[in-house]
Structure 1
Amino acid sequence: MSRLTLALDIMGGDNGPHIIFLAALTALQQTPHLHLILCGPLTVMSQWLNQQLPNIQARITLSDCPQHVAMDEAPAHALRHKKNSSMRRILDLVNSKEADACVSGGNTGALLSMAYYVLKTLPGIDRPALITLIPTINNGKVYFLDLGANINCDSDVLFQYAVMGSVLAEQISNIKQPRVALLNVGSEEIKGNDQVKHTARLLTDSQNINYIGYVEGNDIFSQKADVIVTDGFVGNIALKSWEGLVNFAIQEIKKASQHNWLSKIVAKIATPFFRGIYLRMKPDQYNGASLIGLRGIVVKSHGNASSEAFLYAIREAIQQVEMQVPDKIKDKIEAVLMERHE
């Protein structure tokens, strides 16, 4: 298989570069054709690289970046003043085709602003979106967007999100004619604001999208749809509510299992059962929100990701490169635009 190169922002995240180094090493061991460009302070990276085996060292390039973007830094400030940051460098490498994709766990707002500025959107796409997979019943998964890239979205943008989500479901999850739904306050046609209603009409009229109608918040995990579309305000709240609920449930189960001797016995017996549920719901394996709609592949990891979670983000980037996702989105958008102008 031909060489595949990813650029990693080693300064992005809350837990320090060592988390990213561990994920990078595992990714290289698992993917023989993978090469990495690590972007960050040379002193930090060199110390780690010198400890690796020669065959690993040969597949890593270091790119010295004297600046980094703080997690609480204003996006506009980062865009203007952090041109030599590790975050900016990974995007520049994708733009210059030196890297096939990039991954960062840094400041989301800054990454969005920089990516939009450096890479630009694909023809026919007004704004990029953040999309991720979340689990559903019966071992299913659903693509959910937007996760916060754009707080306010008009109907054209939501329609574009539906197209992009459909492409990702087709190409990454191999779903033929993925079912696309709009998140709404009710399933009836009369429900919702003007943007949602107008988007529904656009999707209904399209022959390129398998639109199935509205879903409500309690349908997100029901496997009724393969792609669920909403604006970034609602989507971000929904995603973080799910993550919070999962963590709450895990903590409550742990607490209940230590209540008395009987609960400890029951917990020991039930551990294999609960472990299966935990592994299904564990947010780590769904780490790696993709910033789609750009002329390049950008994957956003959680800032507090573990090395295992960051590895999932790297795998997501690899998969999108291999499936040529931006090109597929471009082709689909062109077909939809031609349809709308006929």
Structure 2
Amino acid sequence: MGYRIVVAGATGNVGREMLNILAERQFPVDEIAVLASRKSLGTEVSFGEQTLKTKDLEQFDFAGWDMALFAVGSEATKAHAPRAAKAGCVVIDNSSLYRYDSEVPLIVPEVNPEAVHGYAKKNIIANPNCSTAQMVVALKPLHDRARIKRVVVSTYQSVSGAGKEGIDELWDQTKSIYNPVDDKPAKKFTKQIAFNVIPHIDSFMEDGSTREEWKMVVETKKIVDPKIKVTATCVRVPTFVGHAEAINIEFEDFLDEDEARDILREAPGVMVVDKREDGGYVTPIECVGDFATFISRIRTDGTIENGLNLWCVSDNLRKGAALNAVQIAELLGREVLKKG
């Protein structure tokens, strides 16, 4: 026996990726419904070998459905997730709406799977921010061994993290560089993204940090350990898919770089590619379409006591969003619902 699954936001980048991953991982689906806003109503999407027509999210009756994977943004989630949850359908939400709610578990299955049992308070589970998800997969096994005191992270985040509009803007601006008559000013981003980097993702906060940076701090504490100190600088870069992060870690206990490399090689969801030679590391373009979080450039930081540096790369549409949501659904089915 399988599950009756709903994908809300099925016409967007993340929603389509959710459908691809559900099919790829052969998730036990008895029936699937794909939902979209009224402007996308009737749009066809693929699920394995099937072609499905989207239904109206506003009118959909969630009663009798087991799980709903939401990729519709905070406003639509606020309107419809509680309605689905009340009908008995467990919501796995990709927006930021419920991430900081103490009654909603925030889950990365490789890191805190035990948190899934907290879903019942609201019948909702939150998916973390894309930049946080890949980082905590790398941090958790090292934290278990040597206890992390502080993390300093700089991100290099692709335009797909800003949705289809971000992808289109990079594409159009890149073409316009070679055709100056067809100028494409910044709309989605605050400055030109083509051949540029922008140290600004999401809105600014009173302390000078951006909300994206704040998310990494708060979510890491909730998922891994509230005692970990985190400071982040989040940067948008002109790549289409794949987020990269340069991570500096300070531990309570000594951890040799060779042992850290061995620990990460055995860690779930991690692939270590760390050769000290030309090309002996993974870049964003190489991780596209892959399930793993790739770790490279593992080395001792001699400027602090018990310090390590590493380079972390992952497909943000997969591990940062759709894959993690599907993994939560698998975890929920395996540990709680136990139908599939």
Q: Give the TM-score normalised by structure 1.
A: 0.37
Q: Which has the higher strand share?
A: 2
**TM-score, with structure 2 as normaliser:** 0.37
Q: Which has the higher contact order (CA 8 A, sep 6+)?
A: 1
